Homo-oligomer: A and B are copies of this chain.
Amino acid sequence: MFSIGELAKRTKVKVPTIRYYEEMGLLAEAERTSGNQRRYDKVGLERLSFIRHARDLGFSIEAISSLIELQDHPDRSCEAATDIATSQLEEVRAKIKRLRTLEKELSRISKGCDGGGLTEDCYVLASLADHNLCDREH
């Protein structure tokens, strides 16, 4: 059994975040010492590692809730789990696509001005002011 600080160190999740996850129902309420401090064991460590990993991959708290719910019922079909992962993947792909467009536009805008002139003639500012100066939709 170890303290919340120890759990934090091992999972690299900050202490207040652990308490937050508990409040959100992602982590079961921890056992307490006589002095009301939380104590964790291997199970708690594994669950938090799961959460941490899923958050790193961009899953929302809500999605993680669902995944944990599924984990707790090993007899169910895992279709829902793959669905969640797939839709997360789609979201990531959509974000990448959008960011690529932004990258092109920003790169074009940045290149248009070397910063050596006055704001009066700055291509960056002009581009932002006038959408017509853009290459494509965004």
Contacts and interface: CB of A to CB of B under 8 A. Distances in A.
> In the assembly, how many copies of this chain are there?
2
Interface of A is mostly: helix
A99 B102 contact: no
Given A57-B138, A82-B115, A85-B106, 17 more contacts: A54-B128, A56-B138, A57-B106, A57-B128, A75-B118, A76-B118, A77-B115, A78-B118, A78-B121, A79-B116, A80-B115, A81-B113, A82-B110, A83-B115, A85-B124, A89-B110, A96-B100
A65 B75 CA distance: 55
Given A76-B119, A85-B124, A119-B74, A103 B110 contact: no
Contacts of A49: 129, 131
Contacts of A103: 89, 92-93, 96
